[in-house]
Chain A
Amino acid sequence: MDAKKKKLTLYVAGQTPKSLAAISNLERICEEHLPGRYEIEVIDLRQNPRLAREHDIVAIPTLVRELPVPLRKIIGDLSDEQKVLVNLRLQDE
């Protein structure tokens, strides 16, 4: 079960409307479609800008799916649920 867990990292920069929207959209989608099978980490790059370089983040907000591989990046406020699902391939799980 743990191995199948999605590890999602959401990079934001401060409490901007876009960031807040992305966080709430992501939590909602995950709760609906992946209850208990996800792990979300929100990183505020404003607090730790070094990570932007390390993880090669340019656009904000960026959602990174580190697991399962391959790495996948989604940028934007995640306002389109279907698209988010397609890109995270959450449905076929």
Chain B
Amino acid sequence: MAVGISKSPTGIAGFDELTHGGLPTGRPSIVCGSAGCGKTLFASTFLIQGAREHDENGVFVSFEERPVDIVSNVASLGFGLDELIEAEKIAIEHIAIDPAELAEIGDYDLEGLFLRLELAIDAVGAKRVVLDTIESLFSAFSNPAILRAEIRRLFDWLKDKGMTTVITAERGEGTLTRQGLEEYVSDCVILLDHRVHNQISTRRMRIVKYRGTAHGTNEYPFLIDEDGFSVLPVSALGLDHKVFDERVGSGVPDLDAMVSGGGFHRGSSILLSGVAGSGKSSLAASFAGAACARGERALYFSFEESAAQTVRNMRSIGLDLQPWLDGGLLRHIAARPTFYSLEMHLAIMLREVTRFDPGLVVLDPISAFMESGDRLEVQSMLLRVVDFLKSRGVTAVFTHLAHSQEGSTATDAGLSSLMDAWVLMLNREMNGEFNRELYLLKARGMAHSNQVREFVMSDTGIRLLPPYLGDNGALTGSARKAEEAKARRAEMQRLAEVARAKRAAQDRRRAATAQIAELQAELEASDLELRSIADSEAEYRRQAERDSADMEVSRKA
């Protein structure tokens, strides 16, 4: 078929996306798995969602459970199967065979089953059929040859009638189903699995076969919880993320000022790593608070603290998250890492993100997983989280507890390549006190400050103080205060010194000026004297000439 086969949505979250539409329309599909893996729930969901959402009525053929049990089993999921039965949208056909009251003599067939099925299909105008679990027939009838032929005929008959059918089957030893039913169903085979590893259970689903459809062959985790059955397609993620130029604030203006553009890129992954007590959670919560303040939804996954605890702790630094929680902008989900397996955590996170559609997600802390799983598994999980959040354009804040400050850059190398920005938070002891420090180890696509800032938390919020750069290097805390005070004192001293020197110079200048005046006076006096000497000399000469003339006169006379 050039157009491809048509598909009927199952209404199972994730499954329809995974199979590009659901189960093959008008064909039988097998859902197999061991006891308690959720086969019947898968089948019921398929049927109920069909009747409810897609106007495709259905027939549930139960070979095991009684109709009342089926109704009450799904009642806890809020499916309201009884209402659908009353509205004649779904019919339950209970095929109960008691081998004890049955004897087989000669040749027979299962025409009765066909007739009953046909009746039920016509009664509700069914498009969907569930056979749960047809293999029970093998314990009721002793002639497997007849059964196989009849089951094959039944599948063909359902196909002819255009029924989209789900057949549940028990997992067999070495085969997919105990009775090898998969041989008769060539279109779609789905395997459900329930594994327990390290006392943590994980449910997984695999599409073994789906004719005419490209499908992932991976195992996908699935959930059965109060919302029913949901498959979580987690690996089909690529690197075609949305890219944003928009910046989002961290709630700490001083931190935003450290990068060009006044904040981190929307949709980027930000790692806050540091040792215990370095303020990672506080900074992460501040990111969340800032998102809420912008009117965005924020999702906070905490693997260590309850919501109440986080709220209380953040109040101490002047950040009240309660109104956001109450207003529905902030959602806080707390779960210990050991509650679920990694896959399950991932699955739940992805589901919550899809549901809540936040602008910012906080994972606090991702290092909590390191203890619960293999390093590579944890890394691959985080990679998927990062990819997933990026593909949705969600800003992600991860906190990571580093065990030592010195080796921290090396040990987290696996993570760092996933992150767009890395804020390193230190808590350093110096002169008998611990002081928090923060610096931006990396920030892709942004010019950023290379300074180590002092990270100060108070009841008015988080502040980043520029470091004190003195003769003895960068100082923080009281050492910084002491050094600053010392510097202030030195400065005053220096100023006093300058003033004194200035005064002395002025004095000297004044003295010199006085001396100059004195000499000038002396000079003038000397000039005066010289002039009077010259005058008296001239007078003398004139007198002498007059005297000699007088003498000449007297001699001649």
CA A13 to CA B110, docked complex, whole Å = 10
Q: A49-B115, A52-B116 are in contact. Are A77 and B101 (CB under 8 A)?
A: no
CA A73 to CA B107, docked complex, whole Å = 15
Distance in Å from the Cβ of A33 to the closest Cβ of chain B? 15
Distance in Å from the Cβ of A12 to the closest Cβ of chain B? 9
Q: State whether A72 touches B106 (Cβ < 8 A).
A: no
CA A7 to CA B104, docked complex, whole Å = 19
CA A67 to CA B286, docked complex, whole Å = 81
> Residue A3 at the B interface, CB < 8 A?
no
Q: A45-B115, A53-B93, A58-B95 are in contact. Are A75 and B108 (CB under 8 A)?
A: yes
Instruction: Choose one: A52, A56, A73, A80; the contact of B106 (CB below 8 Å).
Output: A80
Instruction: Choose one: B101, B103, B112, B119; the contact of A60 (CB below 8 Å).
Output: B112
Q: A18-B108, A59-B110, A60-B108 are in contact. Are A75 and B102 (CB under 8 A)?
A: yes
> Residue B118 at the A interface, CB < 8 A?
yes
Q: State whether B105 touches A52 (Cβ < 8 A).
A: no
CA A77 to CA B110, docked complex, whole Å = 13
Q: A49-B118, A74-B103, A75-B104 are in contact. Are A11 and B109 (CB under 8 A)?
A: no
> Residue A1 at the B interface, CB < 8 A?
no
0/1 string, A73-93, CB within 8 A of B gives 1: 111111110011001000000
Q: State whether A75 touches B105 (Cβ < 8 A).
A: yes
CA A92 to CA B468, docked complex, whole Å = 112
Distance in Å from the Cβ of A41 to the closest Cβ of chain B? 16
Instruction: Choose one: B102, B109, B115, B141; the contact of A46 (CB below 8 Å).
Output: B115
Number of interface residues of A (CB under 8 A): 34
Task: Name the interface residues of B98-144: CB closer than 8 Å to any CB of A.
Answer: 101-113, 115-116, 118-119, 141
Give A64's nearest chain B residue, CB to CB: B101
Task: Name the interface residues of B65-115: CB closer than 8 Å to any CB of A.
Answer: 93, 95-97, 101-113, 115
Give B109's nearest chain A residue, CB to CB: A60
Instruction: Choose one: B93, B101, B112, B119; the contact of A59 (CB below 8 Å).
Output: B112
Among B105, B107, B115, max chain A CB count under 10 A is at B105
> Residue A50 at the B interface, CB < 8 A?
yes
Q: Which residues of chain A come closer than 8 Å to B105, judged between CB atoms? A: 74-80, 83-84, 87
CA A76 to CA B107, docked complex, whole Å = 5
Q: Which residues of chain B come closer than 8 Å to A77, judged between CB atoms? A: 105-108
Q: Which residues of chain A come closer than 8 Å to B108, judged between CB atoms? A: 18, 59-62, 75-77
Task: Name the interface residues of A35-62: CB closer than 8 Å to any CB of B.
Answer: 45-46, 49-50, 52-53, 56-62
Q: Which residues of chain A come closer than 8 Å to B95, judged between CB atoms? A: 56, 58
Give A84's nearest chain B residue, CB to CB: B105
Q: State whether A13 touches B115 (Cβ < 8 A).
A: yes
CA A50 to CA B93, docked complex, whole Å = 12
CA A40 to CA B419, docked complex, whole Å = 82
CA A2 to CA B267, docked complex, whole Å = 87
Give B137's nearest chain A residue, CB to CB: A58
Q: State whether A72 touches B101 (Cβ < 8 A).
A: yes
CA A16 to CA B108, docked complex, whole Å = 11
Q: Which residues of chain B come closer than 8 Å to A61, judged between CB atoms? A: 108
CA A26 to CA B17, docked complex, whole Å = 57
Distance in Å from the Cβ of A10 to the closest Cβ of chain B? 12
Distance in Å from the Cβ of B93 to the closest Cβ of chain A? 7
Q: State whether B107 touches A71 (Cβ < 8 A).
A: no
Instruction: Choose one: B106, B111, B113, B118; the contact of A76 (CB below 8 Å).
Output: B106
Q: Which residues of chain B come closer than 8 Å to A46, judged between CB atoms? A: 115
Q: Which residues of chain A come closer than 8 Å to B118, judged between CB atoms? A: 49
Q: A72-B101, A72-B103 are in contact. Are A52 and B109 (CB under 8 A)?
A: no
Q: Which residues of chain A come closer than 8 Å to B119, judged between CB atoms? A: 49-50, 52-53
Among A18, A60, A72, A83, max chain B CB count under 10 A is at A60
Give B141's nearest chain A residue, CB to CB: A59
Distance in Å from the Cβ of A74 to the closest Cβ of chain B? 5
CA A60 to CA B105, docked complex, whole Å = 11
Q: State whether B106 touches A60 (Cβ < 8 A).
A: no
Distance in Å from the Cβ of A31 to the closest Cβ of chain B? 18
Give A70's nearest chain B residue, CB to CB: B101
CA A60 to CA B101, docked complex, whole Å = 15
Instruction: Choose one: B101, B102, B115, B141; the contact of A52 (CB below 8 Å).
Output: B115
CA A57 to CA B119, docked complex, whole Å = 13
Q: State whether B116 touches A78 (Cβ < 8 A).
A: no
Q: State whether A49 touches B116 (Cβ < 8 A).
A: yes
Q: Which residues of chain A come closer than 8 Å to B116, judged between CB atoms? A: 49, 52-53, 57-58
Q: A49-B115, A49-B116 are in contact. Are A18 and B109 (CB under 8 A)?
A: yes
Q: State whether B107 touches A58 (Cβ < 8 A).
A: no
Distance in Å from the Cβ of A7 to the closest Cβ of chain B? 16
Q: State whether B112 touches A45 (Cβ < 8 A).
A: yes
Q: State whether A58 touches B113 (Cβ < 8 A).
A: yes
Q: Which residues of chain B come closer than 8 Å to A22, judged between CB atoms? A: 106
Q: State whether A59 touches B96 (Cβ < 8 A).
A: no
Q: State whether B112 touches A79 (Cβ < 8 A).
A: no
Q: A49-B118, A53-B116 are in contact. Are A60 and B107 (CB under 8 A)?
A: no
Q: Which residues of chain A come closer than 8 Å to B141, judged between CB atoms? A: 59, 75
Give B95's nearest chain A residue, CB to CB: A58
CA A62 to CA B111, docked complex, whole Å = 10
Distance in Å from the Cβ of B65 to the closest Cβ of chain A? 15
List 5 tightest A-B contacts by C-beta distance, closest first. Answer: A76-B106, A79-B106, A77-B106, A60-B111, A57-B112
21 A/B residue pairs, CB under 8 Å, sorted by A: A11-B112, A25-B106, A45-B111, A49-B118, A49-B119, A50-B119, A52-B116, A53-B119, A57-B112, A58-B112, A59-B108, A59-B109, A59-B141, A60-B108, A60-B109, A70-B101, A72-B101, A74-B105, A75-B108, A76-B106, A78-B105
Give 4 new A-B contacts, CB below 8 A, not counting A45-B112, A75-B103, A76-B106.
Answer: A53-B119, A58-B112, A60-B110, A76-B108
